[in-house]
Amino acid sequence: MGEERAMGSRERDRELLIVAGDEGATAVDAVFSGTAIPHSSGSPASFHHHPPHRKSGGEAFYNVMQSWASKKFMTGCVILLPMAITFYVTWWFICFVDGFFSPIYAHLGINIFGLGFITSFTFIFLVGMFMSSWLGASVLSLGECLIKRMPFVRHIYNASKQISSAISPDQKTQAFKEVVIIRHPRIGEYAFGFITSTVTLQTYSDEEELFCVYVPTNHLYIGDIFMISSKDIIRPTLSVREGIEIVVSVGMSMPRILRTSR
């Protein structure tokens, strides 16, 4: 009896294995062929085949148009933003300069826009001509002596004079003598700077001439001063105005190729 029962249980297990093997083979064939899997109520849910979701034609067209419109809009912003800033700053400058003499013309009953601007430029031009003469330089020296005696005003005047002398067309009084490149802050890294003056470093054995190089950090009037030997200075073929433009534009006006003068 025991042997007959064992034989019967073996036959049932063999039938179950054959059925399970057929279902597994059917599932594997269905996965590779892409057809639906005929499953029974007891088959696992992992054998269910879900077709991939495909976007409709309208949705794909909408995505393409959205990407195209965003790119064109950003292109328009990139083109119009510098022009808008330029016109705004120019208009503000004209209105600011025009405001110096326009109240005088308004008091006289003359209301012509731009007349104060022309008068201001003419006045500045005449002041430049007068101060270039010997008499104008004497008057300027006398005025500076009076201003430097004032406790608080002299500091404001000295700071503003140093800033204005940085862009002076006179090479003798120009604060930024030359544009240079120095190795800063580490070897392999470089920074733009401006030579402002020279100093002689005297030691017990010899003396060495050093250049005071001003390296702007944030704005043009905020930076660090480094005293560097002439052999450690790289001189590019750039003018002082070009160097100022590079600093003010945070490097965006940097030329593609930098050449040294010597």
204-237, pLDDT tens digit by residue?
Answer: 888 888 888 888 876 666 788 888 888 888 888 8
Average pLDDT, the chain: 76
Residue 51 has pLDDT above 70, yes or no: no
| pLDDT at position 9 | 57
pLDDT mean over 107-123:
85
Domain map (residue ranges) of the chain? 2-47, 134-166, 178-248
Any idea which residue has 């808008």 for tokens? 84
| pLDDT at position 88 | 92
Q: How confident is the model at residue 4 (pLDDT cuts 50, 70, 90)?
A: low
- How far lies 232's CA from each of 5, 29, 88, 90, in Å? 100, 75, 43, 41
Phi, psi dihedrals of residue 250, rounded to the nearest 5°: 50, 40
The residue ranking higher by pLDDT, 107 or 27, is: 107
pLDDT mean over 114-124:
87
| pLDDT at position 32 | 42
User: Distance between CA atoms of 72 and 67, rounded to whole angstroms?
Assistant: 9
Residue 82 has pLDDT above 80, yes or no: yes
Residue 246 has pLDDT above 60, yes or no: yes
Rounded to 10°, the helix 134-148/115-131 angle is 100
Q: On the CB side of 17, how many CA atoms lie within 13 Å of its CA?
A: 6
Instruction: Give the sheet arrangement for strand 207-216, strand by strand.
Output: 178-183, 190-202, 207-216, 223-229
